[in-house]
Structure 1
């Protein structure tokens, strides 16, 4: 019988996959990979602020991640170059978080868990946050699927159809911020972007429809969680990076299909 901590880790990873699969597909389609990094880096600042003020961890990370999302959306609407703006915000937020952590001696050791993740330390309360947040994000994406997809494919067509591309962009970045906030303890700030991008990229070449790609990305993410945890248990390797490497292996396996697509 598997240990309880391993079952909790698997359930947390599977719950997270329900959101990262479809959301990661939009990240790939919109070429927003760097936004995932920027939001994840900002979440470190949220962790520090939560510890400093006594706020619940997830609330602190959600607030800072949402602030990052709103800032990026505002800069994009004013015509600023996204890559430069994201680079400045990402590194500034990460540096501010690390500097602020130096004033909290008790947090210095724990911060590595939020950088690299510690899925094996997931508690029952963490499971509730992860599943609640992931199902909320999934419901939001399903609800806005058609407008989000139309705005992603062609903003002019979206406007002609009565869809506001800026609103859909904001919905997407808010959903990304929420996913980063609930997943930071599982795979860590430095690996969450990989979990969003790699399964979606792996599913892209083998999918015929956008819906098929979203479902495929979710399936690959779930398999990556199971395979990564098994490899971690067998080889005594870090669980979070092992999950990402399992997803990368799926990408390599499906690469020939992408070349023929």
Structure 2
């Protein structure tokens, strides 16, 4: 029989992976991995402010991540710097500010390893419910904005020409990212959140023949990574958060194997045949 804490960890990890996968596809398509890192580092500042102001940690992390996203939009218009330079400034500044704020609270005893690398085995029933409810809301909103957001990813100019509100879709995407960062922090930690957004999506890209299929496969690979990582943690006792990311990395490496490439070619050939059938009179 599995222990209660392990079952809670499993449900929390599956809920997080199911949400991170589809959102991670847009991170990969838009080449925004550094943006994910920036929000993840901002999460530590949110945790520090939560302890300082004695407010809910998840709410504080969400607020700080959203503030950083809006700050990036504002600075892109006024600072005259490239996006990667601005992301570097915001990312490292938020991480440093978080550490400074924590260090000034001498009375506070914080598990920095848990914050940085997650502590999924300590999640409560409330945490699991928050992950699943928040994740379901994120997926529902993502489904509503999928078309304009994907169109803006492919060509913002063409999306605007077709009457789509690109600015609104991008803003909602940033809000969804802030929500995912907030609910995923306890599962894999500040430093590993981006890995769970990027690696399963990158693995899914090797096999998918369309954007929707890639989103579904990314969620599946994320869930498999969680199951393998927690299983390894139970058997050999490594830290759970890093074990989950290592499992995701192993799946990505396997996707590069000759057998996986053969499967990829066959799937691509079948997809091309299906497209040709669709164009035949």
Q: 1:9-158 to 2 correspondence within 5 Å?
A: 9-78=9-78, 80-158=81-159
Cross-structure match for 1:185: 186
5+ residue gaps, structure 1: none
Calculate the TM-score normalised by the size of structure 2. Answer: 0.89
Question: Is the CA contact 1:73–1:170 (under 8 Å) kept in the aligned structure 2?
Answer: no
Q: Secondary structure at the match of 2:244?
A: helix
Report the TM-score when normalising by structure 1. 0.96
SS in 2 for 1:185: helix
Answer yes or no: is the 8 Å Cα contact 1:77–1:166 preserved in 2: no
In structure 1, the residue matched to 2:208 is 207
What's the CA shift for 1:109?
3.3
Name the count of aligned residue pairs: 261
Please give the per-residue CA displacement for 1:89-145, whole angstroms capped at 9, x wherever unaligned: 000000000000012235443232111100001011111221122111111111111
Q: Which is worse superposed, 82-91 or 99-108? A: 99-108
What is the distance in 2 between the residues matched to 1:164 and 1:80? 25
Between 1:32-41 and 1:249-258, the stretch displaced more is 249-258
SS across alignment from 1:206: coil
Runs (5+) with no aligned partner, structure 2: 269-281
Q: Deviation digits for residues 53-84 of structure 1, max 9, x if unmatched?
A: 11011111111111011112223345641100
Q: Higher mean Cα deviation, 189-198 or 149-158?
A: 149-158
The RMSD of aligned alpha carbons is: 1.5
Instruction: Between 96-105 and 191-200, report the one with greater CA deviation.
Output: 96-105
For 1:18 and 1:206, the matched residues in 2 are separated by: 18
Map of 1:172 onto structure 2: 173
Partner of 2:274: none
